[in-house]
Amino acid sequence: MSYAVSLTGGGGFSRLMARLGWAVGGIAILTVLWLLAGYWLSINPTTVTFSKFGLIPTLEAFPELWGAGKIQNASAASGYRLGSGLLIAIAIGVPIGVLMGRIKWFNNYTNSPFQFLRMISPLSWMPLAVLVFATWNGSIIFLIAIASVWPVMFATAAGLAKVDPNWFKVARNLGAKPWHMLTKMIMPAIMFDVLSGIRLALGVAWIVLVPAEYLGVTSGLGYAIEDARETLSYNHLTALVVTIGIIGYFLDSTLVVLIKRYSWHRGGV
């Protein structure tokens, strides 16, 4: 038995190292290409102005931005807007998704209107958001929420639709109350789908956040990128773009870990 455990543990470690090796290899290839592109920009007279887009100037910009507090302040402002918008989307999307998955007539009435609203570009709501909300913060949070709510809602509904109806019959026969069915059966059963929807919502929200911060606000990663562009600080611009990628990758990886934890295929639930 101990031999089998050691084999399992060794296999898991080998898979982890393999994934790490592939990740490092991919990043190394991207780094070399970026380095070569920066070198080409610096030796070409027509593009030498843009040589600060290269890898070395970008890496040199990080200590400057960090020392001035720009990365920390911009990340905190954007994180607040992103978190607020996602929380609103989850608070609205999960309950409505549960209703869509459990009540057939509700799903029949709401599916087409929700699909119609889902297909409207989130940024096209910008003029309306500016009129309705008194602050730019409120407008941006609204845009993030309306962009994020649909993946959460439809993933929740799809997850609940996959639950065996016999479960509900057994729960009712055993005297389960609606609250118990929600907390002890429905939510654990659909948690994988809910988290998958939140992961999709995060990707959409992260894309909407940056262009939304180009207008009106004086903080956040989008504003910092726009400011770097206007001051021709190209190395700062690329450093901020890399920062966005790092933060987004970390958030997405965190959700991937949670999704694997709640995946029934892995016995996590």
Structure confidence by residue, pLDDT tens digits, 33-64: 888 887 787 787 777 777 778 888 888 999 99
Question: In what helix (H) or strand (E) does residue 134 lie, and over which residues does it extend?
Answer: none
| 64 plus 45 within the same structural domain | no
In angstroms, the CA 110 to CA 199 distance is 23
Query: What are the CA-CA distances from residue 14 to residues 4, 69, 225, 234, 265 (Å)?
Result: 15, 40, 40, 41, 21
What is the per-residue pLDDT across 130-139, written as a single tens digit (0 to 9) for each? 888 888 889 9
Q: Given a cut of 80, is residue 256 above it in pLDDT?
A: yes
What contacts 2, CB < 8 A, 6 or more positions away?
none
State which residues form the domain around 48. Answer: 1-53
Of 160, 158, 166, 126, which is closest to residue 142 (Cα–Cα)? 126
| 23 plus 95 within the same structural domain | no
| 39 plus 134 within the same structural domain | no
| 46 plus 70 within the same structural domain | no
End position of a domain, from candidates 12, 31, 53: 53
Confidence of residue 109 (pLDDT cuts 50, 70, 90): very high
Q: Given a cut of 80, is residue 85 above it in pLDDT?
A: yes
Q: Given a cut of 50, is residue 267 above it in pLDDT?
A: no
In the chain the first and final C-alpha atoms are separated, in Å, by 25
DSSP at 215: S
191-228 exposure pattern, b = at least 16 Cβ within 10 A, e = fewer? bbbbbbbbbbbbbbbbebbbebbeeebebbbbbbbbbb
| 166 plus 72 within the same structural domain | yes
| 3 plus 90 within the same structural domain | no
Q: Tell me the percentage of the chain whose pLDDT exceeds 90.
A: 42
CATH number reported for the structural domain that contains residue 248 in this entry = 1.10.3720.10
In angstroms, the CA 96 to CA 150 distance is 10
